[in-house]
Amino acid sequence: MGKYILKRILIAIPVLIGITVIDYAIMCMAGSPLAMLQGPRVSEAAIEAKEIALGLDQPVWVQYFLWLKQLLHGNLGYSIKSFQSVSSLIGRHIGPTLLLMGVSLLVSLFLAVPAGIYSAIHQYSKGDYAVVTVSFLGSSVPGFFLSLLLIDLFTVRLGWLPSGGMTTLGTAGGAADVARHMVMPVMVLSFSMAGSNIRYIRSAVLEILHQDYLRTAKAKGIGRFKVIYKHALRNALIPIITVIGMEIPVLFGGAVIVEQIFSWPGLGLMTMSAISSRDYPVIMGVCLLSAVVVLIGNLVTDILYAFADPTIQLD
Amino acid sequence: MKKDTLSEKKKHKPARHPADESYLRLVFRRFVHHRLAAVSLIVLGVIVSAALLAPIIAPYDPQDIAGPFAQPPSGSFWLGTDQIGRDMLSRLLYATRISLLVGVMATAISTAIGVLLGLIAGYFGGAADMIIMRFTDMVMSFPYILLVLVAAAIFRPGLVSIILILGFVDWPGIARLVRGNVLGLRETNFVKGSLVAGMPLRHILFSEILPNTVAPILVYATSVLALSILDEAALSFLGQGVQPPTASLGNMLNGAQSLTVLTTQPWLWLPPGLIIICIVIAINFIGDALRDALDPNGGK
């Protein structure tokens, strides 16, 4: 087991380095920061001085290592718009995003796990058809369109829910207020995630139900209830771990769009405004962060997998 | 993996036994058994032909100001007009055309890249495999939509760049799939036989291995197509994709971000949204039925 974990970590390291290289390469492609300085009132000499100060006269790979060194000190660079450090900007916006993502993940699991298991146990029943059709709808409806429909229904027609922000302006906020603001974004994110999750869990449970050990359990005559709840569901834990691992990148992506529509003050909203103002250090900082989180997420999934399924091939 | 669905019921029906039935006919018969997919195929067919025939059937030029602005649907403007008086039905037809074009082209590009890299990694193994698969891991680590948004911010947004961006970002899944299949096929006797017979590499790769992995690629490509269409819509909705005045299903929804459009002019944003859902859900159902129909282990 220890060897397996070590091996997974060793594979992850070159990927991590590669991610920083890609991230840096994209930032270079986006254009040199000197181009932003240029103007009629900036002299050639001043630009040259700045070039040397920023290390831009060095070869690209030296620049990369300089950047990497800064990165290891926790310095992601500075926003060219607000001149704040990218790490402090991310720090300030990550809370709301983690809250939104965490709650959405939980809600989608609460929807998908029972629905997927129900669907698998009652395969080919009317309920199964309904669940699978809804799950297809979930993965086919664009998140932004669903958001528009929800705003139209809950905010405009019914007036029940606020359409944007995290707290009502001019009030102290509080947990209840935040929760009210969160209802619609969470609905959109978890509905689209639940769509693919239901089908994944359904087929995983179906596979379990066809295993030999379940046939043995059935043959022992311990009853349908015990067969399913004692023998089958325990093994359904493994696909659920996989689902959580798969959802991390989806969550980051979905958050960008949902936060933009509902003006949720998180990383996604910050990224969208950075994109519209071409604030590359901020954009690439977020990209790097999310890629690293996804990588770690995959690593943790693999390791958990090994714990949950003792029969997995560890080499 | 996900290979079951609604249509699995077919496996439990007694098999008729047409011994001389060709593979394609078998696949077709299994496919139409999936009722939803058969319906989806018809719906998609109607939408695609309407989009292809847009220059003929569209009542107005999609770019022309044809009538009074922001008119609700009426006899002469079936879906109403937009804020500057362009006919919404004509725009919708042309937008569907653009969105389908983006989806198909992006899928073609990403499938080609994925297949090529997967073949190389799976067949040659060793260092090539190592490098390609680690690169795949790297690209997969970046959240897809974020990468697409960044690329859209760097390159000037537009029709061609959006196709290229989507095409160049969405290949890792296919590469992984192809590699896995090739690894298995490499050990089969017919490939080993060709090797021993001294067949050229190109023949082994493209005439022996590739045809045997076409089915899963096709199934996967349908999901990439659905995703590409969704992503184009999302990007254009955010203003980073297809740029006006060219209409795409996504940028037609862009106007709905304003509250007046959202509340008082639903004919401006409901139809494009519904068309996206129809297209994507139809493609998903078709892909699902294909998966079952092409499954060599499936029943008749």
Pairwise CB contact (< 8 Å): A19 & B273: no
Which pLDDT band holds residue B4 (cuts at 50, 70, 90)? Answer: very low
Whether residue B199 has pLDDT greater than 60: yes
**Is the domain of A218 the same as that of A257?**
yes
| pLDDT tens digits, one per residue of B221-232 | 999 999 999 988
Pairwise CB contact (< 8 Å): A283 & B135: no
Do B166 and B102 contact (CB within 8 A), yes or no? yes
User: What integer is the mean pLDDT of A69-92?
Assistant: 81
Beta strand residue intervals within B130-208, DSSP E: none
A147: domain CATH number is 1.10.3720.10
The CA-to-CA distance between both ends of chain B, in Å, stands at 20
Do A208 and A123 contact (CB within 8 A), yes or no? no
Which pLDDT band holds residue B14 (cuts at 50, 70, 90)? Answer: very low
Whether residue A43 has pLDDT greater than 80: no
Q: Is A78 within the bounds of a domain?
A: no
| Proportion of chain A above pLDDT 90, given as a percent | 9
* pTM, 2 dp: 0.85
Q: Is A290 within the bounds of a domain?
A: yes
Pairwise CB contact (< 8 Å): A145 & B277: yes
Range of the domain at A53: 2-72
| Residue of higher predicted confidence among B209 and B261 | B209
Taking contacts as CB-CB distances below 8 angstroms, the residues of chain B near A136 are 281, 284-285, 288
Closest C-alpha to A146, from B230, B232, B104, B103 = B230
pLDDT mean across residues, chain B: 82
Whether residue B296 has pLDDT greater than 70: no
**Is the domain of A48 the same as that of A12?**
yes
**Is the domain of A94 the same as that of A46?**
no
**Is the domain of A103 the same as that of A247?**
yes
Do B153 and B238 contact (CB within 8 A), yes or no? no
pLDDT of residue A8: 83
> What is the tally of helices (H) and strands (E) in chain A?
14, 0
Which pLDDT band holds residue A158 (cuts at 50, 70, 90)? Answer: confident
pLDDT of residue B175: 92
Minimum mean pLDDT range among A228-242, B125-139, B194-208, B218-232: A228-242
**Is the domain of A137 the same as that of A188?**
yes
Pairwise CB contact (< 8 Å): A148 & B5: no
Cα angle for residues B180, B186, B187 (degrees, 5° grid): 110
Which pLDDT band holds residue B111 (cuts at 50, 70, 90)? Answer: very high
pLDDT of residue A41: 67
Taking contacts as CB-CB distances below 8 angstroms, the residues of chain A near B273 are 142, 145, 148-149
What is the ipTM score, two decimals? 0.82
DSSP per-residue codes, A65-96 = HHHHHHHHTT---B-TTT--BHHHHHHHHHHH
**Is the domain of A6 the same as that of A119?**
no
Which pLDDT band holds residue B108 (cuts at 50, 70, 90)? Answer: very high
Pairwise CB contact (< 8 Å): B281 & A137: yes
Whether residue A33 has pLDDT greater than 70: no
pLDDT of residue A103: 93
pLDDT mean across residues, chain A: 82
| Most confident region among A29-38, A99-108, B181-190 by mean pLDDT | A99-108
**Is the domain of A68 the same as that of A91?**
no
B241: domain CATH number is 1.10.3720.10
Residue showing tokens 């891991």 = B137
CA B17 – CA B7 distance, rounded (Å): 19
Amino acid identity, position B104: V
Count of domains for chain A: 2
Count of domains for chain B: 1
Structure tokens at B182: 């090739």
Chain A, nearest residue to B237 by Cα: A144
Taking contacts as CB-CB distances below 8 angstroms, the residues of chain A near B237 are 142, 144, 257
pLDDT of residue B103: 94
